Structure 1
Amino acid sequence: MKGKRIGASRAMLKLGCCALAITLSGAAFAQEAAQDTPEEGAASNAEIIVTGSRVRGEAPVGSTVTTLGRKEIEASSQVTVDRMIKEIPQVFDLGVSENSRGQSGGSGNITYGNSVNLRGIGPYATLVLVDGHRVTNNSRSIDPSVIPSLGIERVEVVADGASAIYGSDAVAGVVNLIPRRSLDGGEVFARTGISSRGDFHEYTLGAALGKVFERGQIMVAYEHVERSNLSGDDRDFFTSDQRRFGGGDYRIVRCAPGNINANGTSYAIPSSGVTQATAGSLTAGSLNKCDELDNQDLIPRQKYDSVNSTGRYELTDWLDVFYDGFYSKRSFYRISAYSNARLTVPQTNAFFVRPDGFTGSSYTLDYNFRNDLPTNDSYGYARSWQITPGIKAKLPGGWEAEALFGYGKTNDFSGSYFGVNNAALNAALASSNPATAFDPYGLGRTSQAVLDGIANQIFLAPTNGRLRTYEARLNGGLFALPGGEVKLATGYERQDFKVALGSARGAPTNPITFRNFGRKVDSFYGELFIPVFGPDNAMPGFQRLEINAAVRHDKYSDVGSTTNPKFGVNWVPVDGIKLRGSYGTSFRAPTIPEIYGNSNNLFGQSYQNPAGGAPLQGYALSGPNLDLKPETATSWSVGADFEPTRNLRFSVTYWDVNYKNQVLANLSNLAILGTEAQYAGTGIILRGTDAATRVQQLLAQGVTLAGGSFPGGNPANVTLFVDGRSQNLGVSITRGIDFTATWRAELGSEDALTFNASGTYLTKYRVALTPKAPLIDRLDFIFNPLKFKARGSVTWDHGPFSARVQAIHVGGYFNNLTVGGQNVKSYTPVDLNLTFRIGDQQASGFFEKGMTLGLEVRNVFDTDPPYVNLAPSGNGSGGYDATASDPIGRLFAVSLRKSF
């Protein structure tokens, strides 16, 4: 495969033209707030590098940086770094999330991790870095929780295309996790929380030690986090019968007791069961209905153990050595719903019941195994580690050279052991011997040995990855202009990635087989900073004017080459006002699992029925697509930052992202039938005999059914097929406005109020799901980017006491997946944090120095998620929208933090 090639000369021509356009139009647009240099610096003589630029000592030009520093991290009511990041309004919970796997990319999230999805552009379109460099991952995405919150100095988010700076994946932006290098002493932390309903709890224990000495520093931090599961049975909105909420009846007929279907006539099996002697109790036309997903977890149980460390030592006045490293293991356990199926029961069955008037030799029976088989729960872990040492040399003329080497590994595993063995089930249904027959009539007469043989199908999916990275950087000044020094950053990077995708399905004795793949990437980049106007030549209308130009070339061993430019402008016409703009192109190489598939199987799944009523049974294909091409994007933004007084600052940014060749995977999209018309002619969705024919073709080619069962045990009865493989289908245009505002009111020497507000308002989100399909407006539709998200807080600092009230607002939107549609209400939970600083905070020593006590109430008013008229899904949502709200409800927590 060959990716899209962009000639360097053509790229630079585009860059130059856009520079002029942005410079002329910068004053006509408004955008979001620039951030100051983070307040907590690093150890002695170490420089602060700001995410979004490789040029030493310079913040990104034309883009803003959103920063979560130590103060914000400590004030957060969230327990892991990934959840802290998700409180930023630009981050959407679409795709790769522990509580929702229904959107594109979610099917690969078999270990229930979390990614960062800036502006809803895509779960793999945001690049996550650690201390400015790439780290190992499971070949899909990086979960920020690999770094403990105690080991983070700050998190920097640049919501702007950055492939010219960092390469692949930085289409929507970059998240940089910067580990602590300034800790001089120790810190211990403990926190525990429980929901007001008593059905969810979490706790954290952690410690960090650091030492800053004359020629360097060293730091190590460890954290243990546990979060319990939250069962759907504990939330009344997660139900199939939603008529009491004014919604639909999504109950199914595969129940316990079940329903006989004989020659088109249904007979509900009584709750006491039925035998041939009591067959007269069967009533023609009667029907049992039930919830499909009783017992399923909305949030899985998670345990985190993570440790990270940093170090730096000044060998000489001109030579430093440094490192950062981490180890993380996150384990999960997710309780599943009970299995169900449509059985074919022949008259040879030892317990066969013949309804009055039925003369056939077999019939179908809709059944739930809740009273017979264990739930097919899944459990596993995501384990990763990396060490990245480096060396930095000061060169003549103020130049610096830096070299880094990174080595890391990942080991992910997801497994389940109690899947239904369809062959054993059909044999037991046909058996005339009561000792080996299966009883589907509600009297529990099946022997345990038979049940054990039916519930013995395994699903094991390990993924092993290894990453080697090599980086060489050169940074310094070229020459002086009246406005300041022209600076250059240039470098070379190499990534050597190997991944082994493992699989074992079927009989418990089946071994795990691995498919091994590799990828190498060679990259060259250059970035130029040009200060046209500065303090030395400022004039009215031009207090400062800075231009930044960057270009990067990446050559992949498997998907071709690409060259991407970026250009930025900062213009300060008068003190307190900065106008800025940026333009660039970005790309994302498809991941190895997207190209080669996690598996090559069929999965039986329940799909939301756009016509209303019970979900439809369909069959989705997972497998390789060797023709996948890289995604490409063009993005630009313009904005302004205002600081009229020392205590007041606000900013606004208008941005535009044109995303092409998007890779979409519909394996986990159980609401896909709501957009079926857009897939016309592609073969992605097939109905009726076309669906059955396609499934039978795949079976003949060796593709197996890995989950669920065919209606009546016969693939010819299939009526719905979905091609869930990754496809280059999507084209999207996303535009919006980001804003931030901060005001601090000094009430006294130790008394102040601080007001913060930030938000994202999307003005356009139009999508073409296929290359030939028209662009369709999908803004503010369920499971798509929402028009408005915002966060506001008020903090009162009063001597040793602080109080913070925070509200996170998700605007209402439209649910088009139900008959007639539904306007979903907005969602605004409010959090309260109280902090008490006890004792002398300036003292030294463990026993002498004071401590900080925190009391928290998350979702003070116990606001339920807005009702969403949607059938419960095995991949999240149902009665509520897991991508836009939190099902936990009110949570009380207490924390204790002590530094020494």
Structure 2
Amino acid sequence: MDSHLRRRLLLSTSALLAVILSAGAAAAQTDPEPASSQQARPDAPASVQTPAATAGPVTVGGEDVTDADIVITGSRIRGAAPVGSSVIAIDRSAIQASGAVTTDRLIKEIPQVFDLGTSENSRGQSGGNSNITFGNAINIRGIGPYATLTILDGHRVVNNSRSVDPSIIPSLGLERVEVVADGASAVYGSDAIAGVVNLIPRRNLNGIETIARMGVARDFHESQFGIAGGKTGDWGQVMVAYEHVFRSNLSGDDRDFFTSDQRRFGGRDFRTTQCNPGTLTVGGVNYAIPAGGVTAANAAALVPNTVNRCEGFTGQDLFPETRYDSVNATFTVHLTDWLDAFGDGYFSNRRFRRNNGYTGATVTVPSTNAFFVRPAGTTDAESVQIRLDELPNNISFGSTRSWQGAGGLRAKFGSWEVQGQIIYGRNDDTSNTPNGINTPALNAALASSNPATAFDPYGLGRTSAAVLAAINDQVFNAPTLNRFTGAEATINGTLFDLPGGGVKLAAGYERQELEVALGIQRGAPSTPLTFRNYARKVDSGYAELFVPIFGTGNAIPGLRRLELSAAVRYDKYSDVGDTTNPKFGINWSPFRGLTVRGSYGTSFRAPLFSQIYGNSSNIFVQPYADPTLGGTIVQGAALSGGNTGLRPEEAKTWSAGADWEPTRNLRLSLTYWNVKYTGQVDSYLGDLAILSREAQFAGTGVILRGADAAARIRELLASGITVARGVLPANPVLFIDGRTQNLGRSETSGIDLVGSYTLETEKAGIFTLNANATYLTRYLAAITPSGTLIDRRNTVFNPLTFKGRGSLNWLYDGVNTRLTVNHVGGYDNNTLPNNGVQKVDSYTTFDLGVTFNIGDAEPQGFFDGGFSLSFDALNLFDRKPPFLDFAPTVNGSGGYDATAANPVGREVAVTLRKRF
């Protein structure tokens, strides 16, 4: 960021803090705050629920606690949960009971979260090809990998220019996680189309907690070690947590369902002919090279019309080996009775190493090759389909290193609170592949007549180590360096009182400055690493109003409570224009125990830097099957690169639901939600079947034919854009604009059901039943604004119709036993030839855990208790993923669906916790 700009930003925020100080001081002298509305101290109860008089449902520990100073995710107003929207939360006890070792996996246990796109084990969907560091992000509803906003304690977090991996915060440093599965751009700005995930760090820890966990499955293991310390008092609080997590890789070789030969499961044979030994081809006739190789002396062993077939992804990991080291901290200092200093921060270093499998290739072998073998009676050019097993496994490794600090002042005067804070963070991603194929070196070795410098493709392993090293010396390095600077100022309080309660207002200003450097190094190790630098500035203003029409003071039959909310936010971007987004909500309680709610709003997502600027623009000459010519192959010119004309994606969202609590121990919540998403960014550079949907692109300029195509190509060539691959026809007749475009749209709707029931007995302990399920009623998608909406719901690699999770907890005499069931409904695999469909089975797993609590829950000394020992069996019955008739890919899946099933199998874990 420019130093002058940073100075102005810091000065303006400092001035704001000075105003806070002076205003708060005056208020402290003239208008002392009633004791009942004082801010909760950090030694307040840890389990916080939505205030009963103002909120929709929040699932946190099973109890409701009213506190006028709590800010619930989805609203900026203190003491008012998001009116009309539901909140799902994971509290501290649920975090401890979960078998997840990192925060991202904890959140993905929620059924409303789908594992599509930005995931370490599933990268074949939208956004997955950019996930070269094998990170994880949250995808609510499966609407899109970048349509969910992840924040930390209510403010933004530096990302990798695309998304935020929640594992930056150690689970030991989390107080709770709140998820609003509803559009929230009116409150938080960009990315909050499908919802918001708020990582709330601990601020009430008074003592020390430690954890040690070890989990083991077949050919897989993971471990977790951590320590957190905190101190609370009348002066404020401080907390620091550290965690180290190790997860071993899981090789596809160790799971029989990840296979190319799926015939034994009733599927197809996807085996490749790039094997070792390989298959020799001359004049279109194949000859399988026999085991042990072939030389001129045994050339008669080459039998025409035979091939070798083998697994195409030998040695590939289903997910990489990963190491996490993460620290987070919080502090609050009560400077006076009206002024607090506060802050939070974290440091995270996630390192990965992935085996990508052995490289396959089809090579042309000149007759000059020192080991050349020709099948009898042949004279044509010769090629060999081979897997290069003599070269090392094609590995990639790298890291995501992220840190951020936020701090500010909070002043209270009367019923009003003014707050200002500054945020600064860095995120550096790097991904290295050090052993790529040097094609010129390989071709030179294939042509060499010297055995010492020639490459042997005939299965005898005679290639020298020096030649192999020269062939295997290409590097790929793609660092992404990000910097985030933010400033926030808010005012929050009660405007005036109505009979139904106080009319509250929250308003604020935010400034974001984002800088990204996209690096690339591809080729020989001596190739320089180059960067492209981009920046974005965002100025935002927002206001939110809460109006209680009916409440405790004027409740009447049928109108026990009626609350309205309205929010609006204006965001001005330095590169993609501006946008204004409102949201409205209503809560109506006709009688005690029942609340009916609804919400409506608009949301948006600003395009990514990589989508706007892309890689360098080039023309790629590619073959396209043309249905207008009976499927004849036509050479077309496709344009690559970004698109500086991109505008923000937009969505309209609404929801309606009811929360029913007929008794103290029973709570049910039902929500219907709907998202209409337009202007979705996509590109069609690699879509060689695009002409089969040509009518849907009418009027977009994506497909041009004849004279229009020729004119567009001439225009591009004249502007300096060159042909990067292929040979341009003398008279081109087909042009494809493969740049990113605001063309896609989708309509998604569904029903969420959340319930809990607690049974307290005198002699058998306490039983608690929890359930959470989501059912998609619609997922329609089109590739252009006027294109046909196609129902993709319940098809492979798209959002599935039904997901659910339920648990039964039994607490008796200090022992907590829990049984959890996870269910994903069956769906259609519509990737079979001739429009065939495979019915994929549903997937249900059971987790069993037992925790023994020893001694006092709040020990005064090290030996006074606070000790727990847990035994967990995840996927208790070792349920294998359902069979998926689909070819294995470099991005996961193949024989099974990585987006819907866990390949680990049964994992047994032991966890020790100690608090003192």
Question: Which amino acid is 1:271 matched to?
Answer: A
Residues 147 and 326, structure 1, Cα contact 8 Å, conserved in 2:
yes
Instruction: Provide the C-alpha distance between the structure 1 equivalents of 2:312 and 2:524, rounded to a whole number of angstroms.
Output: 26
2:853 alignment partner in structure 1: 837
Question: Which amino acid is 2:819 matched to?
Answer: V
Residues 619 and 722, structure 2, Cα contact 8 Å, conserved in 1:
no
1:664 aligns with 2:706: no
Question: Which amino acid is 2:603 matched to?
Answer: S
Deviations 1:420-446 (A, max 9, x none): 011111111112222221111111111
Question: Which amino acid is 1:253 matched to?
Answer: T
Instruction: Provide the C-alpha distance between the structure 2 equivalents of 1:604 and 1:202, rounded to a whole number of angstroms.
Output: 47
Decide which of 272, 277, 300 is 1:257's aligned counterpart.
277
2:914 alignment partner in structure 1: 898
1:782 aligns with 2:793: no
Deviations 1:486-531 (A, max 9, x none): 1110000000000000000001111110100000000000000000
Residues 855 and 894, structure 1, Cα contact 8 Å, conserved in 2:
yes
Deviations 1:176-217 (A, max 9, x none): 00000000111000000000x2x0000000000000010210
2:32 alignment partner in structure 1: none
1:278 alignment partner in structure 2: 298
* 1:593 CA displacement: 1.5
1:553 aligns with 2:570: yes
81 and 33 in structure 1: CA distance in 2 versus 1, 3 angstrom threshold:
same
2:827 alignment partner in structure 1: 813
Instruction: Provide the C-alpha distance between the structure 1 equivalents of 2:289 and 2:541, rounded to a whole number of angstroms.
Output: 70
Instruction: Provide the C-alpha distance between the structure 1 equivalents of 2:134 and 2:739, rounded to a whole number of angstroms.
Output: 20
Decide which of 830, 855, 870 is 2:886's aligned counterpart.
870
Alignment of 1:763-778 (within 5 A): 763-778=777-792
2:50 alignment partner in structure 1: none
2:538 alignment partner in structure 1: 521
Question: Which amino acid is 1:259 matched to?
Answer: T
780 and 284 in structure 1: CA distance in 2 versus 1, 3 angstrom threshold:
same
* 1:62 CA displacement: 0.1
* 1:770 CA displacement: 2.4
Residues 33 and 653, structure 1, Cα contact 8 Å, conserved in 2:
no
1:377 alignment partner in structure 2: 395
Tell me whether 532-541 or 275-284 shows the greater mean CA deviation. 275-284
3-state DSSP of counterpart to 2:445: helix
Instruction: Provide the C-alpha distance between the structure 1 equivalents of 2:764 and 2:640, rounded to a whole number of angstroms.
Output: 61
2:840 alignment partner in structure 1: 824
Question: Which amino acid is 2:105 matched to?
Answer: R
* 1:252 CA displacement: 1.3
3-state DSSP of counterpart to 1:338: coil
* 1:342 CA displacement: 1.2
Instruction: Provide the C-alpha distance between the structure 2 equivalents of 1:257 and 1:48, rounded to a whole number of angstroms.
Output: 67
2:447 alignment partner in structure 1: 430
Alignment of 1:670-709 (within 5 A): 677-678=692-693
3-state DSSP of counterpart to 1:73: helix
794 and 37 in structure 1: CA distance in 2 versus 1, 3 angstrom threshold:
closer
Residues 41 and 182, structure 1, Cα contact 8 Å, conserved in 2:
no
Instruction: Provide the C-alpha distance between the structure 2 equivalents of 1:299 and 1:676, rounded to a whole number of angstroms.
Output: 35
1:218 aligns with 2:238: yes
Residues 503 and 599, structure 1, Cα contact 8 Å, conserved in 2:
no
* 1:364 CA displacement: 2.0
Instruction: Provide the C-alpha distance between the structure 2 equivalents of 1:856 and 1:178, rounded to a whole number of angstroms.
Output: 26
2:608 alignment partner in structure 1: 591
622 and 505 in structure 1: CA distance in 2 versus 1, 3 angstrom threshold:
farther
Residues 601 and 623, structure 1, Cα contact 8 Å, conserved in 2:
yes
793 and 41 in structure 1: CA distance in 2 versus 1, 3 angstrom threshold:
closer
1:236 aligns with 2:252: no
3-state DSSP of counterpart to 2:264: helix
Q: Percent identity?
A: 58
Decide which of 124, 147, 151 is 1:129's aligned counterpart.
151
Count of matched residue pairs: 832
1:653 alignment partner in structure 2: 671
* 1:600 CA displacement: 6.6
1:162 alignment partner in structure 2: 184
2:133 alignment partner in structure 1: 111
1:440 alignment partner in structure 2: 457
The normalised TM-score by structure 1 is: 0.88
Question: Which amino acid is 2:680 matched to?
Answer: Q
775 and 675 in structure 1: CA distance in 2 versus 1, 3 angstrom threshold:
farther
2:28 alignment partner in structure 1: none
Residues 678 and 770, structure 1, Cα contact 8 Å, conserved in 2:
no
289 and 599 in structure 1: CA distance in 2 versus 1, 3 angstrom threshold:
farther
Decide which of 872, 875, 880 is 1:856's aligned counterpart.
872
Question: Which amino acid is 2:252 matched to?
Answer: G
3-state DSSP of counterpart to 1:176: strand
Deviations 1:269-300 (A, max 9, x none): 11111112221111111111111101100010
3-state DSSP of counterpart to 1:868: coil
* 1:622 CA displacement: 6.7
Residues 120 and 785, structure 1, Cα contact 8 Å, conserved in 2:
yes
2:408 alignment partner in structure 1: 390
3-state DSSP of counterpart to 2:525: coil
* 1:130 CA displacement: 0.1
135 and 205 in structure 1: CA distance in 2 versus 1, 3 angstrom threshold:
same
304 and 139 in structure 1: CA distance in 2 versus 1, 3 angstrom threshold:
same
Residues 854 and 895, structure 1, Cα contact 8 Å, conserved in 2:
yes
Question: Which amino acid is 2:870 matched to?
Answer: G
Decide which of 71, 76, 90 is 1:54's aligned counterpart.
76
* 1:564 CA displacement: 0.2
1:366 aligns with 2:389: no
Instruction: Provide the C-alpha distance between the structure 1 equivalents of 2:275 and 2:326, rounded to a whole number of angstroms.
Output: 43
Instruction: Provide the C-alpha distance between the structure 2 equivalents of 1:756 and 1:445, rounded to a whole number of angstroms.
Output: 64
* 1:729 CA displacement: 3.0
Decide which of 321, 324, 329 is 1:309's aligned counterpart.
329
Residues 679 and 770, structure 1, Cα contact 8 Å, conserved in 2:
no
* 1:373 CA displacement: 1.1
3-state DSSP of counterpart to 2:674: strand
Instruction: Provide the C-alpha distance between the structure 2 equivalents of 1:685 and 1:747, rounded to a whole number of angstroms.
Output: 70
2:361 alignment partner in structure 1: 341
2:38 alignment partner in structure 1: none
Q: Which runs of 5+ in 2 are unaligned?
A: 1-54, 625-635
Instruction: Provide the C-alpha distance between the structure 2 equivalents of 1:685 and 1:238, rounded to a whole number of angstroms.
Output: 38
The normalised TM-score by structure 2 is: 0.87
Residues 696 and 783, structure 2, Cα contact 8 Å, conserved in 1:
no
Tell me whether 723-732 or 421-430 shows the greater mean CA deviation. 723-732
3-state DSSP of counterpart to 1:644: strand
Decide which of 109, 112, 118 is 1:87's aligned counterpart.
109
Deviations 1:205-264 (A, max 9, x none): 000000001021000000000000000000111111100000001111111111111111
3-state DSSP of counterpart to 1:571: strand
Decide which of 143, 150, 153 is 2:172's aligned counterpart.
150
Decide which of 208, 230, 246 is 2:266's aligned counterpart.
246
1:796 alignment partner in structure 2: 810
1:327 aligns with 2:343: no
* 1:625 CA displacement: 2.8
* 1:621 CA displacement: 8.7
Question: Which amino acid is 2:897 matched to?
Answer: D
1:200 alignment partner in structure 2: 220
3-state DSSP of counterpart to 2:337: coil
Instruction: Provide the C-alpha distance between the structure 1 equivalents of 2:541 and 2:62, rounded to a whole number of angstroms.
Output: 32
1:530 alignment partner in structure 2: 547
Question: Which amino acid is 1:250 matched to?
Answer: F
889 and 746 in structure 1: CA distance in 2 versus 1, 3 angstrom threshold:
same
Decide which of 164, 175, 183 is 2:205's aligned counterpart.
183
* 1:680 CA displacement: 6.5
* 1:473 CA displacement: 0.2
312 and 40 in structure 1: CA distance in 2 versus 1, 3 angstrom threshold:
farther
Residues 678 and 769, structure 1, Cα contact 8 Å, conserved in 2:
no
2:632 alignment partner in structure 1: none
39 and 499 in structure 1: CA distance in 2 versus 1, 3 angstrom threshold:
farther
* 1:679 CA displacement: 6.2
Question: Which amino acid is 1:510 matched to?
Answer: T
Residues 501 and 598, structure 1, Cα contact 8 Å, conserved in 2:
no
Residues 600 and 703, structure 1, Cα contact 8 Å, conserved in 2:
no
2:42 alignment partner in structure 1: none
Residues 68 and 79, structure 2, Cα contact 8 Å, conserved in 1:
no
Question: Which amino acid is 1:284 matched to?
Answer: P
Residues 245 and 323, structure 2, Cα contact 8 Å, conserved in 1:
yes
